[in-house]
Amino acid sequence: MYFFEEIKVGQRREIGSFTFTADGIKAFAAKFDPQAFHLDEEEGRKSLFGGLAASGWHVGSVCMKLLVTDGQRQASEAAARGEKVAVWGPSPGFRELRWIRPVLAGDTISFASEIESLRTSSSRPQWGILEARNSGANQRGEPVFSMLAIAFVPRRSGAA
Amino acid sequence: MYFFEEIKVGQRREIGSFTFTADGIKAFAAKFDPQAFHLDEEEGRKSLFGGLAASGWHVGSVCMKLLVTDGQRQASEAAARGEKVAVWGPSPGFRELRWIRPVLAGDTISFASEIESLRTSSSRPQWGILEARNSGANQRGEPVFSMLAIAFVPRRSGAA
């Protein structure tokens, strides 16, 4: 994880890809989004989605998983190089989440994260605030998911 | 599920409550948000959260589950009364999701949904578009979660 000073607007990082299986779609839906088109192939085919479709919350949660594991990978690589690792603050939330196209069983979604804005916090000068556009595209390159995440990032100058 | 014409700004509905157990928090986090403060009590206590804290995506997914099951309950009650049941369109996304306070192991969160705005779709006159504020509060009545959801709702006049 980087400090505020090392982050630039426009930086983009591929954070990994994930294949949504029918079983995985149904298991998530049974727990968190039990609508028929997320639980049953035939109901999915008859729906606007045209097939068994992943819950939007499943897609967002998978994006979160890839963000976290990518961040952990970066942090351990930095630690292995003997660098000081920045510890980001908890996220207060996000804006503009969009489910752009259905994610159907068998689709492989590749996620990326791009820095969209950076500013310093006036009330907490040791922190910067960034907005990152996290997005996913399917195996045909079509966008399926987008959200604007907000994160607090420590400033190197403010680090202990 | 209601038709557009039956929905009024300010309508509020309690959609149910859910207790986040330590095991449930850890199981979700292991799959979707493997940060230490979501996986381990001691790491949670040492963190800004002050205890084992649920992933924000877990909180949002539980809210989705309660929205879906509440909608299904309403639809079957309406069907039992012999009423025509409106079939809502898929959600294009949402705005302004906020994680306001941590949700810790043992917390019981009560969720509600309140209609914040209503308009008709100019491009698809048979549909209305609503924004609903979905929110959660803990057992002390403190707000922990809020999001502004967007949904397409059929107009009774446009129904087949």
Q: Which of B25, B32, B133, B145 to mutate to test the interface with A (most CBs of A within 10 A)?
A: B32
Contact flag B65-A33 (C-beta cutoff 8 Å): yes
Q: Which residues contact B23 (CB under 8 A, 6 or more apart)?
A: none
Query: Based on the number of CB atoms within 10 Å of its own CB, is A157 exposed (0-12), middle (13-18) or buried (19 or more)?
Result: exposed
Count CB-CB contacts under 10 A for residue B48.
Answer: 10
| Beta-carbon separation of B64 and A72 below 8 A | no
- Residue B13: the pLDDT is 96
Q: Which long-range contacts (CB under 8 A, 24 or more apart) does A19-22 make?
A: A19/A106, A19/A107, A19/A108, A19/A109, A20/A54, A20/A58, A20/A59, A20/A62, A20/A103, A20/A104, A20/A105, A20/A106, A20/A107, A20/A108, A20/A109, A21/A105, A21/A106, A22/A52, A22/A105, A22/A106
- Amino acid symbol at A143: P
> Is residue B109 predicted with pLDDT exceeding 80?
yes
Whether the pLDDT of residue A160 is over 50: the answer is no
Which residues in chain B have their CB less than 8 angstroms from residue A95's CB? Answer: 95-97
Q: Residue B160's pLDDT is what?
A: 45
Question: Smallest Cβ distance to A99: which of B34, B56, B91?
Answer: B91
pLDDT confidence of residue B125: 86
Picking from B34, B57, B97, the nearest residue to A69 by CB comes out as B34
pLDDT for B11-57, tens place per residue? Answer: 999 999 999 999 999 999 999 999 999 999 999 999 989 999 999 99
pLDDT in tens, A134-147: 999 999 999 999 99
Rounded to two decimals, the pTM is 0.93
Average pLDDT, chain B: 93
Task: Spell out a b/e string for B91-110, using b for 16 or more CB atoms within 10 Å of the CB, else e.
Answer: eebbeebbbbbbbbbebebb
Tell whether the model's pLDDT for residue A83 goes beyond 80. Answer: yes
Mean pLDDT to the nearest integer, A79-96: 87
Predicted confidence band of residue B158 (pLDDT cuts 50, 70, 90): low
Between chain A and chain B, how many beta carbons pairs sit less than 8 Å apart? Answer: 75
Q: Which percentage of chain A shows pLDDT scores above 90?
A: 78
Is A93 within 8 Å of B49 when comparing Cβ atoms?
no
Q: Is residue A10 predicted with pLDDT exceeding 60?
A: yes
